[in-house]
Amino acid sequence: MMAELSLLERLAVWALPVIFAITVHEVAHGWMAERLGDPTARRLGRITLNPIKHIDPLGTLIVPGLLLFAGGFIFGWAKPVPVTYENLRDSKRGMAIVAAAGRVQTC
């Protein structure tokens, strides 16, 4: 039987891959928005694999940290990628595609 993981081991096994996945997810939104005509995310430096650019203090650090210490369900979120829908070539369809870009990446 395997011993229970320490907090540091749980962070290494769980948090690092999740932070990477969240970062790629947010980059996918920004990249697709740029492909459809909106350079907002690029101009604000948000199309990057640097996870620090995507950290929301409450949603990425505090809430998941408290839930991790409580030992239960862990939930969190990243800073949303800025999209100016007026810049998209077809704003209504474009926003749907930008939203789906993040979802498709995580499947």
Active-site residue numbers? 26
Exposed (0-12), middle (13-18) or buried (19+): which is 9, by Cβ within 10 Å? exposed
Q: Residues 30, 97: contact at Cβ < 8 Å? A: no
Residues in the chain: 107
